[in-house]
Chains A and B, each alone.
Chain A
Amino acid sequence: NAGVTQTPKFRVLKTGQSMTLLCAQDMNHEYMYWYRQDPGMGLRLIHYSVGEGTTAKGEVPDGYNVSRLKKQNFLLGLESAAPSQTSVYFCASLSQYGSYEQYFGPGTRLTVT
């Protein structure tokens, strides 16, 4: 039982490049989330999903897109990376059975130069 996994762990992009971050969970959780964490700021919600095939915007969605084609996977895309998107990205999942505990992945450290 791996929990929540994220790939890659580290990535360096040049401004304007694109990439996709992958989040996978093996707990059959309905809800999944993408956050970013910057120094001196709390975790901020980018996008989230309440089930397979659904996505919704969080607090800071601009510049990102997401897809949830399979229940266990939640993809975060950056179409044209900007230096302001340099951050640590965390994925989390949540069971639909009311425990309210979010399970986090280990994070992806992204640098955009």
Chain B
Amino acid sequence: SQKIEQNSEALNIQEGKTATLTCNYTNYSPAYLQWYRQDPGRGPVFLLLIRENEKEKRKERLKVTFDTTLKQSLFHITASQPADSATYLCALDRGNNRLAFGKGNQVVVIP
């Protein structure tokens, strides 16, 4: 069966450190993978997209890697700040402009 796995435990991290989140998937062959941020009581907000032929993508303090052999994406927040505290969702392309979402991974940045 198809699965998208994100760590269910919250990641508590000290301000200024790098937060790293993992997204593993099985039985998908996504052409691209996306990461979204979701704050409590709000809808998800798009952060980054990485295509299957790209190894790494960066945007300001965010970095995403995509390994289609390992079926894994890593999401990094460098120099983390309390404002980065949120839940981060991994989303895979399912074809026909549909996405399959992971359950999300909460990040708490401690001042």
Contact = CB atoms under 8 A, between A and B. Distances in A.
A100 B101 contact: no
> Which 6 A-B residue pairs are closest in the complex by CB-CB distance?
A104-B43, A42-B101, A43-B101, A101-B46, A42-B103, A104-B44
B53 to A, nearest CB: 15
Interface residues of B, number: 22
A41 B34 contact: no
Contact of B44 (A40, A43, A44, A50): A43
Q: Which applies to chain B's interface (DSSP): helix, strand, loop or mixed? A: strand
- Size bracket of the A interface: 20 to 34
Interface in A9-41: 31, 33, 35, 40-41
A106 B43 contact: yes
Contacts of A35: 101
Q: Which applies to chain A's interface (DSSP): helix, strand, loop or mixed? A: strand
B28 interface: no
B44 A58 contact: no
Interface of A: 4, 31, 33, 35, 40-45, 48, 50, 58, 90, 92, 94, 100-107
A2 B37 CA distance: 19
B97 A94 contact: yes
Most buried by A among B8, B43, B45, B102: B43
